[in-house]
Structure 1
Amino acid sequence: MPVTYLMKKPICLQKTRLKKTRQIKRGNLPDCHVRNNVKSQGNHNTIINSGHNSTVVPVAVNIQNLHVHVERPLQPTARTHTKKQKLCRKLLDRLDQLSARGALKKCKESINRLLRCTRDPDCRATLWIAAAACFINGGKMKNAGKALCHVTGLLDQTENSSEHRLARDYYQSLIDLREDRYDHGVRVIMMALYNIQMKQVGHVRALILINLGWFYTKMAQLEQDRHKQAELIKDAKESFGRAIDDSGQEDEEEEFPGQLQDKKTRICQCAWIGGVYLRLRCWCSALPDGNNTNLGTTDEIPEEDITEARQILRSLEDREPLCGICEVLYHLAQAHMRYRGQKYPEALKEAKEARDLAICGDFKNYIDIAESIVKLFKQAVL
């Protein structure tokens, strides 16, 4: 904002003759005032528009006593642990462990029995979430979607709607991931992350970030533009990295055994395996319908990505036990690494191991994928 101030007119010099220099005398002129405009540009520069023959004297300003108030960033809302919340989390944890181990039939029977016994909206929402997870692991995406519709219908009646909504969004993104609905899945995840940005929600945030990493990985596979593909690969790496960082952020005291195992090992392992698929570009190397895309040997992949993928797989060799699906993904990743190194018999062996684990766990979606890769690798061996 322009500032107006007053200053005395400077001393005037008497005229000198050309032929003879006279002594300079001060003129006895009356004091008068000159109006000057000073304007600050905000970048430490000051413009001064002074009057004719005026003198500008800079003056230092002491701002030692200037106090600036800066608000502290808001802290995330603490996670609550009511009696009902603990009951629902424990129930979901036990059912998820059954489903993750491949005991799908036992898991479904337990859910159906409990649904007949309880009318509590929170417990019923939890059971339908567990049912969705069980259907997803069994490759029945349509049934999983119906289970999540039951959750949505119960939200207004529950005491812990935000936690149920978050679980619903996580499994919805998983359905979208399996059915290749990438844009919709990313929108679901972004909205979920927005809703929980100022909340502590346990291990679920890291799981959602892993899904986001998988979405970017699969989108990068299909992207033809090299620049856009590089951006998607970067986003995927960041998502997997954030999942690993986030898994150890919050208090572990209120986590149940399966959830705690997820936080300590499985989340990191799943993110690392996702990183291998990303670096080897191998998620879509073979499709169940026989329409094979590149096999991971003809595409151009930086040597550093191959080296990093190899290091990750080596670090997982002495791992703690993975959940059933992660174990399948691990052996498929090993198969692709062997195939890229032209070790075809070893690649076929790893692919068969993945297929057998998928059959044992009744993971229908992965049975088809693993079987198609086995057939593909057999051709290389022959």
Structure 2
Amino acid sequence: MTDNIERRGFLKRSATLGLGAAAAGTLAAPAIAQSAPNIRWRLTSGFPNNLDTIYGGAVFAAERVKAMTGGKFEIQVFQAGEIVPGGQALDAVAGNTVEIAHTCGYYFTGKDPAFAIGSAIPFGLNSRLQNAWLYHAGGNEAYDDFLKDHGVMARPGGATGSQMGGWFRKEINSLQDLKGIKMRIAGVAGDVMSRLGVVPQQLPGGDIYPALERGTIDAAEWVGPYDDERLGFYQIAPYYYYPSFWEGGLTIHFFINPGEWEKLPEEYKAALDTAFHAANINMQALYDVKNTTAIRSLVGKGAQLRPLPRDVMDEAYKQAFALYEEYSQKSPAWAKIYPDWKKFREEGFEWFRVAEFSYDSYVFGAQAANQQ
């Protein structure tokens, strides 16, 4: 009888303590939430909002940051041109007009060719190796070390995979056919193509179709089937070439003002980094789904798929690596980053030839032959 009374007393005391702990927990949560600051950032995109996948990478990240911080940290996303034109996004971040931008580093190679090496350069890394280099082989650190002299820092925040080689009004059968062609192509890729006789033109995505329509350019590259179909290039330039040797694995970055970053609580920095990682993976996955459907649609609408001629590829390869050596003489930043990048590329390609390339080559060929 005494044992039962003592046991009931213990259970009663335990229940009281439990209720007290639960009450303390419910009181603590709002206190923690109230201590977190309300922060509002503005983000300028390098892309128009009708390109929902590439522009949408910034929206995706902003939504997740807001959710992870209970609505305390909000990032308002503006399309290119709403605050500043896409080509001024980097300067807007450095000057603190906005706290963050979402765009491609190679758009700013006029400042220094090293801007491109963090995003994509001709005959560079595929998307898997690009992520490996950036996240775990010193790429992010090397890129940020360069960027600090330009007043920004960066994090990967989107990927397209291997892109297409662009739309041409006329068929390209040899290297000679490129001579004098006016082509929308940006950055280092434009430098390489100019050595093949192309006249490169740097235009934002929204200006490409009107330029093709007016005949002020003869060819254009953008991303791949999904975006290209939305932009309507097939209606004017029917020859669709592959691959884009200049973008084997593009990384789009979030460029951040370092001073604003340092003001953030550690929890908010972690939320941003998590959202950026998610945006990087999500964009690639979306393109892999959407391009699968879009390429079939484009062919059904009359697009003429063509591989770039071998002599074009071979000469471009030769000229690209000659150009990189020249950059090493002109750009201290390039000279610092490029040797380690090139070593990683060589070793990564050696490994990928063993398993990835062997597997892909066999199953792609077998499926095409057997339709299974």
* TM superposition score category, shorter chain reference: under 0.3
TM-score by length of 2: 0.25
Higher relative contact order (CA 8 A, sep 6+): 2
TM-score by length of 1: 0.25
Which one has the largest radius of gyration?
1
Higher strand share: 2
